[in-house]
Structure 1
């Protein structure tokens, strides 16, 4: 049972090869080129979403760095696509693994830190002590701010992967009990599963948005 329960999170279930990671590239083969060449309803909706994200990220980052919002919009699109691919049956959820989420979070945070400490050293030191802190508490605040800064990539990665795993495990656990239920309880289970699927769709959008916004906020501090 445990092997079946966690098989959707195992990257090497097929022939002892990590072929399941190809789920992150399925969109390149599924999405037709004509979708981007002819203005369809989907492409117009996606342009509206990316334009609103661009305005919001531009407001958070500022006018100093031009074109940097494209990085975070691409990050949002990648995570959103992989989250939604995991909602399909028998498709590997790549964002449920720390391998992918930490690969996205750690280089971003590290590049922000290296750039900030090299170019804006005084500004980065000022961030370690919040404004209005009493002199007695300054050493403790420096330790707390340093620790909170170091664990940022870990919290970004764990938040995304944990939310993806939690919903999928709950749906799998409920689905495995279907063969043991009566007809009345089975109907109730189907309604519950549909509600959970809608909730997971909302979580897929929210988590990709949260990941992109927090990355933008971390870059705006630099």
Structure 2
């Protein structure tokens, strides 16, 4: 007597699809486990794929992490560009912009990744700086809105640096000082509103 075993053929994925799915899985691993959790083996496991298949597409864990960094930085730059432009033309408020950028750094793991890259002295941050440098010029090409070309770099700097610090040490610092979880976002919003309404001349945040 012979028993026929049913086998499910392994789904073939297009190389571009594999890279996209792998980066998405790596992003989730970054959020839940930090940069050290992003390995070829962990990504392969998340996708139910053979380790060798992921290795074939990326070559090494370093290459996978580089691809993840590039994707997250590109998303973050796009969010900064879009959010700052919407604030410039009055489509969103300062609080909306703060939430948009803070969410990118906190919920999407961008802050943890940037902190990790900075600790390693990675040149991937140079790419981020280069893209950030272009944002004010791109948005300042048209005069409409309440932000002048001179003000745009300062708005970008305020929101990016505030979001980065909040994503790295915000929760622990606020808990230690018995401050509400919303404190960093509220203060960033207050500062941005005060700075804009003062014509960009305010150098210190307002006191509450």
TM-score, normalised with respect to structure 1: 0.26
Q: Which has the higher contact order (CA 8 A, sep 6+)?
A: 1
The structure with the largest helix share of the pair is 1
